[in-house]
Amino acid sequence: MCPSTIVEAAAAVQSPPPPVPPEARAALRAWYLRAARPLPWRAAGEAPDPWSVLVSEFMLQQTTVATVRARFPAFLARFPDPAALADAGAEAVLHAWQGLGYYRRARLLHACAREIRDRHGGRVPRQRAALEALPGIGPYTAAAVAAIAFGEPVVPVDGNVARVLARLHAIARPLTRAMPELRRLAAGLGDPEAPAEGAQAWIELGALLCRPRRPRCGDCPLALGCRARREGRQGEIPVPPPRTARPRRYGRAFLARRGDGRILLRRRPEGGLLGGMMELPGTAWEDVPPGDPPAFPLSGRWSRVPGRVRHPFTHFALELELWRGEVEAPADQPGWYLPAEMAGLALSSLTRRLLRHGGVEPPAVRGARRPSGGAAAGRE
């Protein structure tokens, strides 16, 4: 970027946001009331329940609306208020989170519920500063809860809202780089007359009309003021981020099966990736494919399952070899499960994928579609 462009960009970030014409705000709200999807965490005609809103926002941080829609009712039925979740054990929380991926959020939501129980009398706090002080809640989630649950006239900037704003103002830069400017623009968007609907209308507009590809400009309530549409540049904005190769890691997993059909599982260490979840035993994940002969966890008849299991994590892609073995082990040894008994365990989608690759169908996650691999791109 040349120096004058940098100066212009800095000035743009510091100057106050442009006001939203009242007719545009009214058109957006009217469209939202007509077109909004009925989602289980949206209260139709009632005051929204802050706990429901907070749980849904945790789930939506990195998982698509379709997956959250399927999992949310069962989770909320099991943990209907902060105290119910705070009093539950970690295993129960991880189990209920199955199918949503990114299990770190389940642990943070659990810690958040405990803090709400212990420091806020069991009620979700109203103030944004108090919300942001809770585990797992950053500025976006705090703004979303403040707007939707407590009627603060703010518009949280998620990927949907960022895309809409970039197109409305024809900001031809990758969204991550344009974020300071987009936040400044969003600062003037809150609807003082209907804050919750106002915030959700912007998110919904990005999800339903101003979609990443082929935006439906003909139906858009903001089309008249949209610079990208006027200039015919909807397809170019937002500019995609520069491509960076995701590092790859490799390892082996072992599907050990006893004569009575039981399969050996172990628990991952707390605190790390997939912490506390059950998995097949395996090697460490390394930067190069395993070369040495496998060191099997038990003696038996082992054979390699053809192909590889690939699994995307946020910061790397994992590629595992799977080895299947018929083994002998004492009947009273802990850690061995029949497939049907795995319904009560917190199994990651990676473990489910490995089991299927090895010819074992894991129990279905109740109320969910087949897990997407836990690497969904978030709200849409």
Q: Cite the active site residues.
A: 57
Among 112, 175, 201, 222, binds ligand SF4 (CB under 6 A): 222
* Nearest approach, Cβ of residue 225 and ligand SF4 (Å): 8
Q: Is 133 in contact with 112 (CB distance < 8 Å)?
A: no
- CA 94/CA 56 separation, integer angstroms: 16
Find how far residue 195's CA is from the centre of its chain.
24
Among 99, 125, 190, 215, binds ligand SF4 (CB under 6 A): 215
* Nearest approach, Cβ of residue 375 and ligand SF4 (Å): 27
Nearer to ligand SF4, 183 or 229 (CB): 229
Closest CA to 366 of 77, 16, 91, 48: 77
List phi, psi (to 5°) of 122.
85, 5
Number of residues that bind ligand SF4 (CB under 6 A): 14
Enter the tokens of residue 110. 């659990």
- CA 313/CA 274 separation, integer angstroms: 10
Task: Give the footprint of ligand SF4 on residues 56-95 (CB under 6 A).
Answer: none
Q: Determine the Cα angle at 76 with ends 72 and 80, to 5°.
A: 165
Among 70, 85, 203, 210, binds ligand SF4 (CB under 6 A): 210
| 209 belongs to the binding site for ligand SF4 (CB under 6 A) | yes
Nearer to ligand SF4, 96 or 168 (CB): 168
Greatest Cα pair distance, the chain, in angstroms, is 75
| 228 belongs to the binding site for ligand SF4 (CB under 6 A) | yes
Contact flags string 139-178 toward ligand SF4, x per CB under 6 A: -------------------------x--xx----------
Enter the tokens of residue 251. 């390892």
Q: Is 160 in contact with 206 (CB distance < 8 Å)?
A: yes
Q: Is 356 in contact with 362 (CB distance < 8 Å)?
A: yes
* Nearest approach, Cβ of residue 164 and ligand SF4 (Å): 5
Enter the tokens of residue 152. 């603060």
* Nearest approach, Cβ of residue 63 and ligand SF4 (Å): 24
Task: Give the footprint of ligand SF4 on residues 229-268 (CB under 6 A).
Answer: 229, 234
Enter the tokens of residue 188. 């003037």
With DSSP H G I counted as helix, E B as strand and the rest as coil, what are the percentages for the chain, rounded to 5?
40, 10, 45
Among 12, 172, 217, 360, binds ligand SF4 (CB under 6 A): 217
Binding site for ligand SF4 (CB under 6 A): 164, 167-168, 209-210, 215, 217, 220, 222-223, 226, 228-229, 234
